[in-house]
Amino acid sequence: MIAAIFSLTALGLGLGALLGIAARYLAVAESPIVGQVEELLPGSQCGQCGYPGCGPAAAALAAGEAPVTLCPPGGRALAESLASLLGVSVDLSGMAEQAPKVAHIHERLCIGCTRCFKRCPTDAIIGANDQIHAVFEDACTGCGKCVDDCPTECIELRAPTQTLTNWVWPVPEAA
């Protein structure tokens, strides 16, 4: 029995020492990840994530303080890219409800004041003074800054217009 105690203790000490050595000398070096994270973010500085811009949001993500699902305009695609970059696993089933949104100007109510297109971070609104404005859906990230600015509240955030090119077959009902 003494032999058994000795041998198991020796095994424990020996393997523990090996693990400690490995932890020190085989440790994976941290890489500068903040820059890579910021590359992925939309860059429109809309502030919907709660951080004052994409730079601070990237820093928070890299530090692990913010969830990868923080960016509404980036949507599910962005959350997945961030998750794979940061090496975290994330349950994205809740994100499906946040379908990407784009702005839509209800032309009847537009007075052509130009406040919205001056605010748009991606220049997605066309128009000029006294001319009705319209949104380029392809360039709109749904950040919502134009909605806040419009004096007649004629801008609405809604799902992008479905065309033959972006229509997708729905998932079949589960059995």
Please report whether residue 128 would count as binding another protein according to CB under 8 A.
Answer: no
Tokens of 23: 């932890």
Q: Beta-strand (E) ranges in the chain?
A: 102-105, 125-126, 134-135, 155-158
What's the CA gap between 44 and 122, in Å, rounded?
7
- Select from 19-27, 42-50, 61-69, 125-133 the region that touches another protein (CB under 8 A): 42-50
Q: Which positions from 144 to 163 touch another protein by CB under 8 A, shown as an x/- string?
A: ------------------xx
- CB closer to another protein, 148 vs 153: 148
Among 36, 48, 81, 98, the residue binding another protein under the rule CB under 8 A is 81
- SS3 (DSSP) at 152: coil
- Select from 12-20, 29-37, 73-81, 107-115 the region that touches another protein (CB under 8 A): 73-81
Please report whether residue 43 would count as binding another protein according to CB under 8 A.
Answer: yes
Q: Is 33 left (phi over 0), alpha (psi -120 to 50) or beta?
A: alpha
Please report whether residue 124 would count as binding another protein according to CB under 8 A.
Answer: yes
Residue of 131, 138, 135 whose CA lies nearest to 146? 135
Please report whether residue 141 would count as binding another protein according to CB under 8 A.
Answer: yes
